[in-house]
Structure 1
Amino acid sequence: MAKYIAKSLLQMIPVLLFISLIVFVLVRVTGDPVALMLPETATDEDRAILTKELGLDQPLYRQYALFLANAVRGDFGTSFHYNQSALPLVLERLPASFELAVAAMILAVVIAVPAGIWSAVKRNTFADLFISGISVLGKAMPNFWMGIMLILFFSVIFRMFPVSGRGGIEHLILPALTLGVGLSAQMTRLIRSNMLEILNQDYIRTARSKGIFETIVIGKHALRNGLIPVVTIMSLQFTSLIGGTLITETVFAWPGLGQLLVAAVNTHDMAIVQAAVFVIAIFVMVMNLLTDIIYRLLDPRIKYS
């Protein structure tokens, strides 16, 4: 396992190099960085000075080499909108997105695991049909609509929770619920289908024939084997929550990475875009590695060579 982890860490290097090349190219095809950073009243002399400072007067391969050398040091440029180094700004917003993603994922797991198990155990009953119907409805509702409805009912009408911002637990409930509902709907359907398949396996029938309590059969034997696909979905969704909760963070004015990225794109602040893309890419790769480790913990039969 240690060799696999070391090999995976080494494989991250060429992936990051490829990502750096993509970011470098995209920054240059989106427009002239000098024109984006300077005001319209800037003179030709100002443009020439900034072009030289940024190294844009050099050949492309030298520009890429300079960009790569700066990226290794964590220097992705200075945000002209905030007049600060881009990477610290991104890292400053990352805990807020992480907090929201963890809360949404916990809420989704708390809802989806018992609902999915109950739906599978009570197959083709009213409970199964009800849970399946709610899951379809929860998956069909867009996040922005869910967020607006939650604000309308729980913030405007009943005044139970704040409308926006980040603070105590009361600020976290509505945005976490907005993201968690859709996640729980998807996970519930996945857990149900996995449990239905596993409950028909021979080893489950053998465990039941030995007189083992049904809760132990479901919880220890069936659920553990059915969690591997769920862990995959959780990993993919969690990484998307870190960098992709743009709409939810905007609706609730949550000061996370998604809101910062939207503002950077709107203002053409490419230094922040570059830093955010690198941070998200590293986070995705680390999450994939952790997912592989969790696979091994759930099922010792899985071997990595």
Structure 2
Amino acid sequence: MKTYIAKSLLQVIPVLLIVSLIVFILVRVTGDPVALMLPETATAEDRAVLTQALGLDQPLYTQYIKFIGSALQGDFGTSFRYGESALPLVLERLPASFELAVAAMIFAVIIAVPLGVISAVKRNTFMDLIISSLSVVGKAMPNFWMGIMLILLFSVMLGMLPVSGRGGMEHLILPAFTLGVGLSAQMTRLIRSSMLDILNQDYIRTARSKGIFEIVVIGKHAFRNGLIPVVTIMSLQFTSLIGGTLITETVFAWPGLGQLLVVAVNTHDMAIVQAAVFVIALIVVISNILTDIVYRLLDPRIKYN
């Protein structure tokens, strides 16, 4: 296991290099940052001076080599919008995104686990039909629409919760619920499917034939083995929540990484885009390694070479 983790950590290097290369090229071929940074009244001389100052007059490969050298030192450039180093700005927004992602994931797990297990145990019953229908509806509702509806209901009409911003727990409820509903719907269906496969296994029938209580069969023998695909989707969804909650963070004015990335893309702030994508890629890679470790803890039969 230690050897596998060491090899996985070494694989982080080429992955991040490929990600940095793709982002570096895409950012530079999608527009002219000099035109965005200078006013319309700027002269050709002003453009030439700024182009040279940013190093944009050099070949792309030279720019990339310098970019990698600076990135290894934690320098992704200076944001022309904020006038500060890009990486600290990204790291400053990261805790807010983590807070929202963790809250949404906790909400999704609390809802999805019992509903998924009940739906599998009560297969083809009225209860299963209700849970399956709710899962479909929850997955079909767009996040931005649900967020707006929740604001209108709980903030505008009832005045119970704040409309936007980050503060206490009351500010977290609506955005976390908005993100968690769609995720819980997806996890519920996955847990149901996984549990149905497990409940048809021979060792489950053997446990039941021995007279073991049904709650022990479900909780100890079936549920733990049915968690592996759930852990996979949780890992994938959590990393997407970190960098992909663009619409939800915008609707609720949540000061997270997603909102910062949207503004950076709209203003063509290359330094912010590069730093944000680099950090998100690192989180994804580390999350995948942790997921493999959890697999091993859930099922000791899994071996890594």
Q: TM-score, normalised by structure 2?
A: 0.98
Deviation sequence 1:72-131 (CA, Å, 0-9, x none): 111111111111111111110010000000000000000000000011111111111111
Offset at residue 50 of structure 1 (A):
2.0
Offset at residue 148 of structure 1 (A):
0.9
Provide the C-alpha distance between the structure 2 equivalents of 1:151 and 1:59, rounded to a whole number of angstroms.
49
Segments of 4+ in structure 1 off by > 3 A?
none
Provide the C-alpha distance between the structure 2 equivalents of 1:187 and 1:38, rounded to a whole number of angstroms.
48
Provide the C-alpha distance between the structure 2 equivalents of 1:243 and 1:234, rounded to a whole number of angstroms.
15
Asked whether the equivalents of residues 33 and 269 of structure 2 are also in contact (C-alpha less than 8 Å), the reply is no
Q: Which runs of 5+ in 1 are unaligned?
A: none
Q: Does 1:224 align with 2:224?
A: yes
Provide the C-alpha distance between the structure 2 equivalents of 1:57 and 1:254, rounded to a whole number of angstroms.
37
SS of equivalent residue, structure 1 residue 69: helix
Provide the C-alpha distance between the structure 1 equivalents of 2:251 and 2:290, rounded to a whole number of angstroms.
31
The match for 1:188 is 188
User: Match of 1:256, as an amino acid?
Assistant: G
The match for 2:277 is 277
Asked whether the equivalents of residues 31 and 268 of structure 2 are also in contact (C-alpha less than 8 Å), the reply is no
The match for 2:144 is 144
Provide the C-alpha distance between the structure 1 equivalents of 2:175 and 2:112, rounded to a whole number of angstroms.
18
Asked whether the equivalents of residues 228 and 295 of structure 2 are also in contact (C-alpha less than 8 Å), the reply is yes
Provide the C-alpha distance between the structure 2 equivalents of 1:135 and 1:142, rounded to a whole number of angstroms.
13
The match for 1:261 is 261
Q: Which runs of 5+ in 2 are unaligned?
A: none
Provide the C-alpha distance between the structure 1 equivalents of 2:260 and 2:240, rounded to a whole number of angstroms.
15
Provide the C-alpha distance between the structure 2 equivalents of 1:250 and 1:105, rounded to a whole number of angstroms.
19
Provide the C-alpha distance between the structure 2 equivalents of 1:222 and 1:274, rounded to a whole number of angstroms.
44
User: Match of 1:253, as an amino acid?
Assistant: A
Q: Does 1:93 align with 2:93?
A: yes
Provide the C-alpha distance between the structure 2 equivalents of 1:26 and 1:255, rounded to a whole number of angstroms.
25
Deviation sequence 1:152-173 (CA, Å, 0-9, x none): 1111111111111100000000
Paired positions, count: 305
Provide the C-alpha distance between the structure 1 equivalents of 2:251 and 2:61, rounded to a whole number of angstroms.
41
User: Match of 1:273, as an amino acid?
Assistant: V
User: Match of 2:299, as an amino acid?
Assistant: D
> 5 Å matches for 1:150-189?
150-189=150-189
Provide the C-alpha distance between the structure 1 equivalents of 2:168 and 2:20, rounded to a whole number of angstroms.
37
Offset at residue 189 of structure 1 (A):
0.6
Q: Does 1:288 align with 2:282?
A: no
User: Match of 1:4, as an amino acid?
Assistant: Y
Offset at residue 20 of structure 1 (A):
1.3
RMSD over equivalenced CA pairs, Å: 1.0
SS of equivalent residue, structure 1 residue 81: coil
Q: TM-score, normalised by structure 1?
A: 0.98
